[in-house]
Amino acid sequence: MTLKRNRLLAIVGATSVLALAACSSSTGNGGGEPADVPGVTDTTVTIGTHQPLTGPAAAGFASVSAAAKAYFDYINDNGGINGRTIEFVVKDDGYNPANTQTVVRDLVLQEDVFALIGGLGTPTHSSVLDFLNDNEVPDLFVASGSGMWDQPEKYPYTFGYNSDYVTESAILADYAQKEFPDAKYCLFGQDDDFGDDFEAGLTEILGEDGLAASERYSVANQDVVAQISAMKAAGCEVNFLASINAFTALGVGTAAKLGYFPQWMSSSSGGDYQTLAGFLGEAAPQLLEGFISTFYLSMASGDDEWITLFREVNEKYNGGVEFDGNQVYGMTMAYMFAEALAGAGENPTRESLVEAVQNGSVKGTGIVPLGFSESDHSGALGVQLSIVKDTVQAYFGTPYVYEDGSVVVYEGEQPAVTNKGIPGGK
């Protein structure tokens, strides 16, 4: 895997194509009649996603697609994008790559979707990368921090969403070195590219011998006693987590049963307090006190203008379910697609949709910049650290980006809510 650096330069580079975009297909195929485009009619745009509505990742992530649909419903009730409403087809893959291949083929060949958004999971989505790109289907905002999504020459239709795992882990490791300089560092990670990428970022900061132990789990086996016992035996004091929420909770809970209470530092993919508390129950306040995690979107416990809007949408369109990081994640994903669709023009094509993402139309809602350009298809370029205190998960410090092997403070501003969060409005 190529570990890309200096991605902030991609944002500057993106501006160079804006003038070209204005002269080419930024209005789709012009002002005439819409072309025969899959998933697009005069009044609707149909898109799809694969999500773990069942299986080992469901408890942590099944609510993401419901939150995205709620935001699309909000947009549709306010006139849609360029006069079209967005129809969102969600297929359950159970976090199983074989199922992912089946449901994605169905979305493309049977449902005839215009684009795929937010396909969730590294092992699952990697199994359909070639299929989607071979069929020239826009594959936007993959819900994973793998570096695979950032290969524009090989996969020109695929774009990331999350901060990549190398960036997350490098920023966590940098903080750990400063706050726990004499500790033994270890990794508990998924046995795929998720764990591999996360470990790569850790070793870039800590050195090749910086980890006292690296233990991996399989999502097919919900017994992690052997891994946690090995970390305890190795004397691990600061444990980095490259795990989805279900296995973060499993690891923390298993450690507690073994009388083992290290400092936990997690990827955003498995670090949402409310989700973890759902697994750990009454023990959560004690077991997760001081839990550190990375994020790149507004914190669900906050009160900024995006959270205010998302809470309103959640109440009206999502049944008022408990509001946590999954709702923020899903609604931001929906907003980003709406930005791309607005940028694709009045008569959008798959090509103009991809161009809209590359030319800077998509700003998102996050606290760090996005890396979209012709040469960079990564998502969020950095993270900020959060900590749990008295059951409240909140940011501390400043946002950071990772460039040229160094952790750098990001001083830019978060995009503002405009036109009530409906892209394309005046």
Cβ-based neighbours of 220, under 8 Å, separated by 6 or more: 56
Give the closest residue to 62 by CA, choosing from 94, 89, 31, 87: 94
Which residue, 270, 295, 320, sits at the end of a domain? 295
Residues 253 and 277 in one domain: yes
Residues 128 and 49 in one domain: yes
- Other C-beta atoms closer than 10 Å to the C-beta of 135 total 15
pTM: 0.88
Nearest-10 crossing angle of helices 193-206, 165-179: 40
Q: Can you say whether the dihedral through the CA atoms of 62, 297, 70, 376 is positive or negative?
A: negative
Domain that holds residue 73: 8-163+302-380
Phi then psi dihedrals of residue 46, to 5 deg:
-105, 125
Does residue 77 lie within any of the structural domains?
A: yes
Cα separation of 21 and 216, whole Å?
A: 45
Spatial contact of 264 and 243, defined as CB atoms under 8 Å apart: no
Which two tokens mark 417? 């809510």
Residues 154 and 93 in one domain: yes
Residues 13 and 93 in one domain: yes
Does residue 415 lie within any of the structural domains?
A: no
Which mean pLDDT values do the consecutive 10-residue runs of the chain (426 residues) have? 40 35 37 72 98 91 96 98 98 97 98 98 96 98 95 98 96 98 97 96 97 96 97 98 96 98 97 95 98 97 96 98 95 98 97 97 96 95 98 97 93 96 82
Q: Which helix (H) or strand (E) holds 388?
A: strand 382-389
Does residue 217 lie within any of the structural domains?
A: yes
Instruction: Please report, for the domain that includes residue 131, its CATH number.
Output: 3.40.50.2300
- Other C-beta atoms closer than 10 Å to the C-beta of 17 total 16
Residues 17 and 64 in one domain: yes
Phi then psi dihedrals of residue 141, to 5 deg:
60, 55
Residues 288 and 189 in one domain: yes
pLDDT of residue 59: 82
HSE-CB for 206 with a 13 A CA cutoff = 31
Q: What angle do CA 94, 357, 332 make, to 5 degrees?
A: 50
Q: What angle do CA 77, 116, 104 make, to 5 degrees?
A: 125
Which two tokens mark 98? 């074989």
Spatial contact of 302 and 310, defined as CB atoms under 8 Å apart: no
Residues 15 and 155 in one domain: yes
Amino acid code (one letter) for 385: L
Cα separation of 334 and 362, whole Å?
A: 11
Query: How buried is residue 262: exposed, middle or buried, by Cβ count under 10 Å (0-12/13-18/19+)?
Result: buried
pLDDT of residue 425: 66
Spatial contact of 257 and 306, defined as CB atoms under 8 Å apart: no
Which residue, 295, 328, 359, sits at the end of a domain? 295
Does residue 391 lie within any of the structural domains?
A: no
Residues 45 and 12 in one domain: yes
Cα separation of 210 and 195, whole Å?
A: 16
Residues 158 and 209 in one domain: no
Residues 349 and 217 in one domain: no
Does residue 19 lie within any of the structural domains?
A: yes
Cα separation of 301 and 395, whole Å?
A: 10
Does residue 410 lie within any of the structural domains?
A: no
- Other C-beta atoms closer than 10 Å to the C-beta of 120 total 26
Which residue, 262, 278, 295, sits at the end of a domain? 295
Total structural domains within the chain: 2
Number of H helices, E strands in the chain: 15, 14
Q: Can you name the residues that pair with 240 across neighbouring β-strands?
A: 187, 265
Does residue 354 lie within any of the structural domains?
A: yes
Residues 154 and 229 in one domain: no
Cα separation of 34 and 40, whole Å?
A: 9
Give the closest residue to 66 by CA, choosing from 301, 324, 267, 260: 324
